[in-house]
Amino acid sequence: MQKEVALNVFGEPLIPCSFDPLTGFFRDGCCKTNEDDVGSHLVCAVVTTEFLQFSLEKGNDLSTPRPEYQFPGLVAGDQWCLCITRWVEAANAQCAPLIKLESTHINALETVSLDVLQQYASEV
């Protein structure tokens, strides 16, 4: 049986988002997903101070290290797999971080059009 290859928003194999800090629902560096990923961690974002503050205000502190979860805490410039709904909230609040399209899972297109995602494309 062949393992299914995760695809990005271009329908190509998903490129890893970050190994330092190690990101992804599966903590494998990629924004892969399955039915257990209720948050849909699909968007490979380059986080900003503004976004980290926005996320904190929404109840998700991504800046504070949590060693018990092997989470170092994020700083501006880190790449991280974000939940698609939080990214959309940030976009609506004019503080969405840029994203790496080649590392953003194709399922993001179920929520946001490619045209919109391309407006936030990072050149990282």
pLDDT tens digits along 70-96: 889 999 999 999 999 999 999 999 999
> What is the architecture, at CATH level 2, of domain 1-124?
2-Layer Sandwich (3.30)
Residue-wise over 96-120: b if at least 16 C-beta within 10 A, else e?
bbbbbbbbbbbbbbeebeeeebeeb
Enter the tokens of residue 2.
Answer: 């062949």
Model-wide pTM > 0.85: yes
In the chain, which residues have pLDDT < 50?
Answer: 1-2, 124
d(CA 33, CA 11) in angstroms, rounded, equals 15
Break the chain into its structural domains and give their ranges.
Answer: 1-124
What confidence score (pLDDT) does residue 9 get?
98
What confidence score (pLDDT) does residue 3 get?
63
* Amino acid sitting at position 56: L
